[in-house]
């Protein structure tokens, strides 16, 4: 589908130019994974005239190339200024996702110890409780609209517990999230982002006065390079933990529940042997990798024979990596017995800080729904709705059960 006659830089070979709106292309048809994977049939490196928000840039379509770009932070930088600064009105950067090594390592050293499986063990009970509380609200109704009644509030609940914030803030946080992610216009998104930022700032100040929570202490009083974190470095961490686990978790959950609702045989298998839920989470996150991330060229470089110039964007759809037929046999098949080395949580220096938390959140939901409900299915006569873009997410998923 042709877009506008965007000027293509002179160094881009004609054969690599793809005059298309990437987001519209991925949204064609009923299955975004099938839609985007048509790109596997073309060149592994392309120049897309509208790769995101009307901007042009490079697009990689293969597992090996995408992994290589994520690992090679010297050529493909994640450094960005101003992405959220405009939104929240302070010169803050998402920390550590918008910062390259070596500075990046110092921030991760502060955060990592609080996101290991061992450190998260205590949070697990709270996560289970949040999931149960949400399910209790609709358990007797024979079904639910999974996204609004469960998938959206659930990660906010987990965030509140992780950050030692009052659970009574749940509705307020859902309201803010709605404004940021689905706000009708920019003004609404800015308003919600500023309100949440102000709340995070006040929570940080409270922590300065009453320390004691190990994760918050690290984010407020932690040291990098022998000095205390600055206010903006610290706020960048608060904000990244807020946004990092919201739409990623809800989107992945939506695809998982949709798959289970259309595969009663797999429901039965997982119910009969809950040990299989761990491997199922692995395979679900591969098959339903929801993130399209990007980098910028730090300098002029030749990447696999293609000349790229400093400052250009390079987009990395992780679903193309994780459904690459040259790495995963029969990639569109969900096979929980598959041993996979997928990159749904990224790879290299910026690999997901919340990976163990996320997997736990997903496992707990699958366990809970399978325990509480039998014959989970899509509500008859209704259609699910989804969006593509920077994350592939289901927006509406009507479920029924016996
Ligand atoms: C299914 C859920 C999740 C998925 C699929 C996911 C995916 C990802 C991916 C692909 C990246 C790397 C992005 C890049 O390199 O550009 C990433 C980074 C990150 N994620 Fe997650 N994520 C999930 C859940 C979470 C949760 C629950 C948290 C909250 C703690 C979180 C926090 C982060 C942070 C802080 C980073 C940046 C790490 C760094 O720059 O060093 N994520 N995630």
Instruction: Give me ligand 1 centre to Cα 356, in Å.
Output: 10
CA-closest residue to ligand 1 atom 36: 352
| Cα 32 from Cα 49, distance rounded (Å) | 20
- The pLDDT assigned to 181 comes to 84
365 alpha carbon, distance to own chain's centre: 17
- The pLDDT assigned to 7 comes to 80
Is 44 close to ligand 1, i.e. is its CB under 6 Å away?
A: no
Instruction: Give me ligand 1 centre to Cα 13, in Å.
Output: 34
C-alpha to C-alpha distances, 207 to 157, 160, 165, 194, 275, nearest whole angstrom: 20, 14, 11, 20, 39
First to last CA, the chain: 44
SS3 57: strand
SS3 394: strand
- 53: tokens are 């928000």
CA-closest residue to ligand 1 atom 39: 350
Is 219 close to ligand 1, i.e. is its CB under 6 Å away?
A: no
- 379: tokens are 């509500």
CA dihedral 100, 101, 102, 107 (to 10 degrees): 80
- 265: tokens are 């045989």
Is 357 close to ligand 1, i.e. is its CB under 6 Å away?
A: yes
Tell me which residue has tokens 């939104």: 87
| Cα 267 from Cα 265, distance rounded (Å) | 5
- The pLDDT assigned to 3 comes to 47
- The pLDDT assigned to 84 comes to 86
Is 37 close to ligand 1, i.e. is its CB under 6 Å away?
A: no
Is 96 close to ligand 1, i.e. is its CB under 6 Å away?
A: yes
- The pLDDT assigned to 268 comes to 98
| Cα 219 from Cα 230, distance rounded (Å) | 10
| Cα 315 from Cα 207, distance rounded (Å) | 38
- The pLDDT assigned to 246 comes to 86
- The pLDDT assigned to 340 comes to 84
| Cα 162 from Cα 172, distance rounded (Å) | 17
Domain map (residue ranges) of the chain? 14-400
| CATH code of the domain occupying 14-400 | 1.10.630.10
Q: Which of 26, 32, 39 is nearest to 258 (CA)?
A: 32
- 238: tokens are 């608060």
* Positions of the chain with pLDDT lower than 70, given as ranges: 1-6, 82
- Calculate Rg over the CA atoms of the chain: 21
Instruction: Give me ligand 1 centre to Cα 362, in Å.
Output: 14
Q: What is the DSSP letter of 230?
A: P
- The pLDDT assigned to 6 comes to 62
């Amino acid at each position: 589908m042709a877009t506008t006659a965007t000027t293509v830089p002179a160094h881009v070979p004609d054969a690599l130019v793809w005059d298309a709106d990437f987001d519209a292309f991925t949204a064609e048809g009923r299955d975004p994974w099938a839609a985007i994977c048509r790109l596997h049939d073309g060149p592994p490196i392309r120049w897309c005239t509208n790769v995101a928000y009307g901007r042009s840039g490079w697009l990689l379509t293969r597992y090996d190339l995408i992994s290589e770009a994520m690992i090679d932070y010297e050529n493909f930088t994640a450094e960005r200024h101003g992405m959220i600064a405009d939104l929240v009105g302070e010169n803050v950067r998402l920390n550590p996702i918008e910062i390259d090594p070596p500075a990046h390592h110092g921030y991760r050293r502060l955060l990592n110890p609080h996101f290991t499986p061992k450190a998260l063990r205590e949070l697990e009970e709270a996560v289970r409780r949040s999931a149960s509380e949400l399910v209790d609200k609709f358990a007797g109704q024979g079904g639910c609209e999974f996204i609004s009644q469960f998938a959206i509030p659930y990660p906010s609940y987990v965030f509140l517990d992780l950050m030692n914030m009052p659970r009574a803030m749940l509705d307020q946080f859902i309201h803010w999230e709605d404004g940021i992610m689905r706000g009708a216009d920019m003004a609404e998104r800015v308003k919600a982002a500023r309100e949440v930022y102000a709340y995070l700032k006040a929570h940080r100040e409270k922590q300065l006065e009453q320390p004691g929570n190990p994760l918050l202490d690290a984010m407020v009083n932690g040291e990098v390079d022998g000095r205390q974190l600055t206010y903006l470095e610290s706020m960048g961490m608060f904000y990244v933990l807020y946004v990092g686990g919201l739409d990623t978790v809800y989107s992945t959950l939506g695809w998982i529940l949709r798959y289970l609702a259309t595969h009663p045989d797999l429901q039965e298998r997982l119910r009969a042997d809950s040990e299989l839920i761990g491997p199922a989470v692995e395979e679900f996150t591969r098959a339903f990798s929801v993130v399209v991330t990007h980098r910028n060229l730090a300098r002029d470089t030749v990447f696999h024979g293609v000349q790229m110039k400093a400052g250009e964007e390079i987009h990395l759809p992780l679903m193309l990596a994780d459904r690459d037929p040259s790495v995963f046999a029969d990639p569109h098949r969900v096979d929980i017995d598959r041993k996979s080395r997928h990159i749904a949580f990224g790879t290299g220096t910026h690999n997901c800080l919340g990976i163990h938390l996320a997997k736990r959140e997903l496992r707990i939901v699958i366990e809970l729904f399978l325990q509480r409900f039998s014959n989970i299915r899509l509500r008859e006569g209704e259609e699910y709705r989804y969006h593509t873009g920077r994350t592939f997410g289901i927006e509406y998923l009507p479920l029924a059960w016996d």
